[in-house]
Amino acid sequence: MIQTVATKPFNDQKPGTSGLRKKVRGFQQPHYAANFVQSVFDSLSGFEGQTLVVGGDGRYFNRDVIQVVLKMAAANGFGRVLVGQGGILSTPAASHLIRSSGAFGGLVLSASHNPGGPDEDFGIKYNVGNGGPAPEKVTDAIHARTLSIDSYRIVDAGDIDIDTLGTRELAGMTVEIVDPVAAYADLMEQLFDFPAIREMIAEGFTLSFDAMSAVTGPYAKEIFERRLGAQSGTVRNGTPLPDFGHHHPDPNLVHAKELYDRMMGDAAPDFGAASDGDGDRNLIIGRNCYVTPSDSLAVLAANAHLAPGYAKGLKGIARSMPTSGAADRVAEKLGIPLYETPTGWKFFGNLLDAGMATICGEESAGTGSDHVREKDGIWAVLLWLNILASRRQSVAEIMQTHWATYGRNYYARHDYEAIAKDRADALMAALRDKLTALPGTANSGGTVQSADDFAYSDPTDQSVSRNQGIRILFEDGSRVVFRLSGTGTEGATLRVYIERYVDRHGKLDMETADALAPLVRAAQEIADITGFTGMEQPSVIT
């Protein structure tokens, strides 16, 4: 029954910030997905008879790859595979299922915030037994294996029914189709004060959640509408579609514009939120009050003790380097450590496992805690709701109080998308060449105090990750950071992260674009973005 299929390596299977992401057509090449899955298995040892978790965000090609994974897991000796019904598992729910089932690891099938459909993107990510994305030493091993692989193992069997709950058998391996939502919703109910949130909603508090036709629909309906009593219709675009209804499931101000407009109107609900393709990101908007993800992390950290799951306080806060320093001020006030990691959730796993950090976040709308080992969109929304139910203030009031206490980190990210890769590489190379010459020079942003290429040394295992983004720090504490995206599938994307801190006695009510304008000019002067890319303006500002 077990077949060994001869294959040749593909030279483009290096996992990026969050697994392997490619166009669906790339994944549809004969052997492409199987090569990668076998390379994952070949990089692991000791999974004989163990459990593997498999699920995805429901995008086009999800069901096909699940069948391949099931047949390959059986042929490679796994004892059991847990699959979300219909192939659905949000990324945080997959993380929880890996942890709660004691699985060896899991394959999360998603390209997250990237669009889906036959002409769009697909992805595969391997998560280890702690429920988190494989650390770099594992992804490096997987990549090395993809370059030398010459065969993969798969059982010759018909497709398995993944739509009916229950247990079946595949070539001696158990396949269990599980409810993707219930256990995750139970976990949320343990962490947050559901009765208090339910009461606030019963008293007339209104919310709107945009699931963007992606994976969080079933989770959001169960949690917000059924368990918390929000009116039906609170969850919009709540049915996961293989192409996300032709939308881009990225909860930012461009792609979640409908929600944004609703929240800025007179008839706006009290609270608005959205999540991305695989359910690990969150967008938070109060009535007439957009909350930047970096500020959201800071507010959640400062108020987490109001939720039962965090009543004992936080052990530490971790943020990715490009994320603003707003959380640093909270950590300082709480007297707890703040860790600065490279971009990507895989760098938080060790800190969470070691009990060094409780809450983590990224500027890209990812926030999470030690309840799982992924960022978690619905978790962030629930923590916000718990805080609102406890403080009984509006989102805008909470933000104003926060800035009046800690000062404000004005922040924006400018993305230049679909640049030719060689242009983007040339821009970064030119920047690297300048690093030693920049300190002491002046430009529209002020005088440069220091400039470096961020390297991270993991405090738990001393592993070092270099070239994680170019930081230009100004004398007044402002910052411009440049890095290239590791999740795109077309050309290169340059991300420019711009931050300016104003202390609590300063002007706290400026428009972000005005506050950052000199630094935006400085970014152009330092990196000659237009010269290298031909683009006058960023494609997306978040």
Contact residues: ligand VG1, CB under 6 A: 17-18, 112-113, 276, 280-281, 320, 343-345, 362, 364, 366, 485-487, 495
- Residue 344's binding partner among Co ion, ligand VG1, none (Cβ under 5 to 8 angstroms by kind) is ligand VG1
User: What is the C-alpha separation between 151 and 146, in angstroms, rounded?
Assistant: 11
What part of residues 108-127 is at the interface with Co ion (CB under 5 A)? 112
Minimal distance, residue 375 CB to ligand VG1, in Å: 7
Smaller CB distance to Co ion: residue 495 or 500? 495
* Pairing assessment for the beta strands 20-23 and 121-127 based on DSSP bridges: antiparallel
Smaller CB distance to ligand VG1: residue 251 or 445? 251
User: What is the C-alpha separation between 427 and 533, in angstroms, rounded?
Assistant: 8
Angle at 300 between CA 189 and CA 486, to 5 degrees: 100
> 127 - beta bridge partners?
106, 133
User: What is the C-alpha separation between 216 and 181, in angstroms, rounded?
Assistant: 9
- The helices-and-strands tally (H runs, E runs) of the chain is 17, 27
Closest residue to Co ion in the complex (CB): 112
- Residue 249's binding partner among ligand VG1, Co ion, none (Cβ under 5 to 8 angstroms by kind) is none
Distance of CA 110 to the CA centre of its chain: 11
Handedness of CA 340, 346, 352, 356 (dihedral sign): negative
Within 10 Å of residue 440's Cβ, how many Cβ atoms?
10
Q: Is 442 exposed, middle or buried (0-12, 13-18, 19+ CB in 10 A)?
A: exposed
Q: Cα torsion at 276, 277, 279, 282 (round to 10°)?
A: 0
Minimal distance, residue 291 CB to Co ion, in Å: 18
Smaller CB distance to ligand VG1: residue 270 or 363? 363
Within 10 Å of residue 423's Cβ, how many Cβ atoms?
18
- Residue 153's binding partner among ligand VG1, Co ion, none (Cβ under 5 to 8 angstroms by kind) is none
Smaller CB distance to ligand VG1: residue 193 or 374? 374
User: What is the C-alpha separation between 268 and 290, in angstroms, rounded?
Assistant: 12
- Residue 133's binding partner among ligand VG1, Co ion, none (Cβ under 5 to 8 angstroms by kind) is none
Minimal distance, residue 493 CB to ligand VG1, in Å: 6
Smaller CB distance to Co ion: residue 35 or 213? 213
User: What is the C-alpha separation between 314 and 120, in angstroms, rounded?
Assistant: 40
User: What is the C-alpha separation between 490 and 465, in angstroms, rounded?
Assistant: 25
Give the total of residues touching Co ion (CB under 5 A): 5
Smaller CB distance to ligand VG1: residue 113 or 153? 113
Distance of CA 114 to the CA centre of its chain: 12
Smaller CB distance to ligand VG1: residue 269 or 488? 488
Phi, psi for residue 257 in degrees, rounded to 5: -65, -35
Smaller CB distance to Co ion: residue 42 or 278? 278
Minimal distance, residue 232 CB to ligand VG1, in Å: 28
**End-to-end CA distance of the chain, in Å?**
52
- Residue 366's binding partner among ligand VG1, Co ion, none (Cβ under 5 to 8 angstroms by kind) is ligand VG1
Q: Candidates 30-38, 273-281, 309-317, 344-352 — which segment interacts with Co ion by CB under 5 A?
A: 273-281
Q: Answer yes or no whether residue 415 interacts with Co ion by CB under 5 A.
A: no
Q: Which of 214, 271, 269, 208 is nearest to 238 (CA)?
A: 214
Would you call 112 a catalytic residue per the annotation? yes
Give the neighbor-by-neighbor strand order of the sheet with 283-286: 235-236, 207-210, 271-274, 283-286, 289-291
Q: Answer yes or no whether residue 278 interacts with Co ion by CB under 5 A.
A: yes
Q: Who contacts 27 (Cβ-Cβ below 8 Å, separation ≥6)?
A: 33, 61, 65, 122
- Residue 343's binding partner among ligand VG1, Co ion, none (Cβ under 5 to 8 angstroms by kind) is ligand VG1
Minimal distance, residue 72 CB to Co ion, in Å: 25
Closest residue to ligand VG1 in the complex (CB): 112
Q: Which of 42, 120, 280, 295 binds Co ion (CB under 5 A)?
A: 280
Q: Annotated catalytic residue: which of 39, 110, 112, 294?
A: 112
Question: Could you identify the residue written with the tokens 């969109």?
Answer: 377
Minimal distance, residue 365 CB to Co ion, in Å: 9
Q: Who contacts 321 (Cβ-Cβ below 8 Å, separation ≥6)?
A: 340, 341, 342, 343, 454, 456, 468, 469, 471, 481
Give the pair of three-digit tokens for residue 474: 């100004």
- Residue 487's binding partner among Co ion, ligand VG1, none (Cβ under 5 to 8 angstroms by kind) is ligand VG1
Quick one: residue 267, left, alpha or beta (phi over 0 = left, psi -120 to 50 = alpha)?
Answer: alpha
- H or E element in which residue 497 lies: strand 492-502
Q: Candidates 7-15, 36-44, 274-282, 384-392 — which segment interacts with Co ion by CB under 5 A?
A: 274-282
- Residue 345's binding partner among Co ion, ligand VG1, none (Cβ under 5 to 8 angstroms by kind) is ligand VG1
Minimal distance, residue 18 CB to Co ion, in Å: 7
Q: Answer yes or no whether residue 276 interacts with Co ion by CB under 5 A.
A: yes
Q: Answer yes or no whether residue 216 interacts with Co ion by CB under 5 A.
A: no
Minimal distance, residue 152 CB to Co ion, in Å: 28
Smaller CB distance to Co ion: residue 188 or 274? 274
Minimal distance, residue 258 CB to ligand VG1, in Å: 20
Give me the residues that bind Co ion (CB under 5 A), please.
Answer: 112, 276, 278, 280-281
Catalytic residue numbers read: 112
